[in-house]
Amino acid sequence: MTIGTTRFFGNNSELFSKLNTELQSLQTQAGTGKAELKLDNNISDISKLSAAEEKKSETNQLLSNSQRAQTDLEVMDVAFERIQNLLVRLQELAVESANDTLTPEERKRFVGEASMLKSELVDVANQKDNFGNSLFGGVSGVERPFQNQANGTVKYSGSSLAKEIQVTPGVAVRQNFSGLEVFQKISGSDGDFSVFEVVDDLIESLKIDLNSGKSSNLFTTSNSATIKLPNTGPKANMSFSIEAGEKTININQDVFGNDFSAIASSINSQTAATGLTASFNGNNELVLTGNINELIISEFKYLGDAVVDPTIQVIDPSNGSTKENIAEKDLQSETIRSKISDAFEHFATKRAEVSASARRAQDAEVSAQDILLVLEEDISEIKDADLASILTQLEFLMTQKDAAQATFTRVTSKSLFDFIS
């Protein structure tokens, strides 16, 4: 009969189990080279590791964001380059077409090419990035933010806010642009304008007989001239300038139902200073007379819906024919070319913004990669096992296990009679 109790065997079983578990853990750490962190022994390392892993996850996301931003901005840069190329051709077209001797066939060809350029501009304005998101729709998510309307104008239905993406904890860069700021609000000498309106103005200027916004001297051969103003419909606003000798009269008048007597009154109110008088003959015509050597009309502007291509006509009193047309200021070749130049500079500025954002994203990528390298080293330092210490513990535990097994064997091999004798 051996010596022992149930508790004695249970305690030894627990001891051997614990020793085996610790030995297995140490052997695993020695084999993998990775430390096994335990809450009761390594709470500080576990806390550091958790913080490092969280920072690594955040940095990986920022790294992905910076790479995505660079991809989007590369597509954006190509789009702006294409826009600038289109504007260069539009400017060439404006210069080539600024010729009063163009035949109707030549004007038609210019109109056709200008229309194609406008169509290409709309295509670029609706371009998407590699992920199918609009480059110029802002945060709206609209598939095609620019739409051609029935009257030929282009309407923007996107957002006024641009998308941004975080590339560092404190820096966000553009992911796209609002089409409103890029295409619709270009700063010019007379206020903001749309690039599509400039193309429309060029097309409209080619549809009239004379692409000029300034008349010749109407008093070259006579001290009287007759001008015919465009229909107003129920209401229209007309403005133009009259150079009467050394004096200038600026007209800006609302006209109702083709009653131009108010314009005549405005001219006559300054007769004492200018020597010019006007009379309205009831047929949209004003007869201008004065004892001066020079009379020039320019800066014509029409705001109304009654006429598509309004002009001021200079009438030949001998036969009633039109001697020349004075086009709207916006349709003047010089004005159009100036606006195209302003638009080109505007897009060049936007393209510079794209380049600056791309550089920030690239710098953020390099910074994120450096941070990840440091974090990997810190995490590795925490996770890596101290092999010298583990081998020492392993040897100690194996010796302890062998001693415990030997003691257990000796004790359990004796019987009660061994102790009695």
- The pLDDT tens digits of the residues spanning 121-157 come to 999 999 998 888 899 999 888 889 999 998 889 999 9
Asked if residue 49 is part of any domain, the answer here is no
Query: Residue 380: CB partners within 8 Å, gap ≥ 6?
Result: none
- Mean predicted confidence (pLDDT) in 223-241: 93
**3-class SS of residue 403:** helix
The answer to whether residues 198 and 345 belong to one domain is: yes
The answer to whether residues 63 and 157 belong to one domain is: yes
Please say if the pLDDT value at position 280 is more than 60.
yes
The residue segments making up the domain with residue 14 are 6-36+385-420
Query: Residue 187: CB partners within 8 Å, gap ≥ 6?
Result: 342, 346
> Which pLDDT score is estimated for 21?
64
> Which pLDDT score is estimated for 40?
47
CB 159 within 8 A of CB 153: no
Asked if residue 177 is part of any domain, the answer here is yes
Per residue, the 3-state secondary structure of 32-48, as one string, reads: HCECCCCCCCCHHHHHH
The answer to whether residues 81 and 158 belong to one domain is: yes
Asked if residue 130 is part of any domain, the answer here is yes
- The Cα–Cα gap between 44 and 279 comes to 98
Number of domains in the chain: 3
DSSP state of 323: E
Asked if residue 214 is part of any domain, the answer here is no
The answer to whether residues 164 and 257 belong to one domain is: no
How does residue 195 score in pLDDT terms, banded at 50, 70 and 90? very high
The answer to whether residues 76 and 159 belong to one domain is: yes
The answer to whether residues 319 and 251 belong to one domain is: yes
- The Cα–Cα gap between 280 and 287 comes to 7
> Which pLDDT score is estimated for 39?
45
The answer to whether residues 66 and 162 belong to one domain is: yes
Asked if residue 379 is part of any domain, the answer here is no
Please say if the pLDDT value at position 275 is more than 60.
yes
Asked if residue 319 is part of any domain, the answer here is yes
The answer to whether residues 264 and 176 belong to one domain is: no
| Residue 308: φ, ψ to 5° | -75, -50
The model carries a pTM of 0.63
> Which residue blocks in 98-213 are alpha helix, DSSP H?
104-125, 179, 195-207
The answer to whether residues 305 and 345 belong to one domain is: no
| Residue 71: φ, ψ to 5° | -65, -45
Q: Residue 355: which CATH number? A: 1.20.1330.10
| Residue 268: φ, ψ to 5° | -70, -25
| N-to-C CA span, the chain | 14
The answer to whether residues 95 and 192 belong to one domain is: yes
CA-based nearest residue to 90, from 59, 119, 66: 119
pLDDT 10s digits, 250-274: 999 999 999 999 999 999 999 999 9
Asked if residue 365 is part of any domain, the answer here is yes
Asked if residue 311 is part of any domain, the answer here is yes
The answer to whether residues 199 and 345 belong to one domain is: yes
The answer to whether residues 270 and 326 belong to one domain is: yes
- The Cα–Cα gap between 71 and 197 comes to 31
How does residue 400 score in pLDDT terms, banded at 50, 70 and 90? low
Query: Residue 405: CB partners within 8 Å, gap ≥ 6?
Result: 16
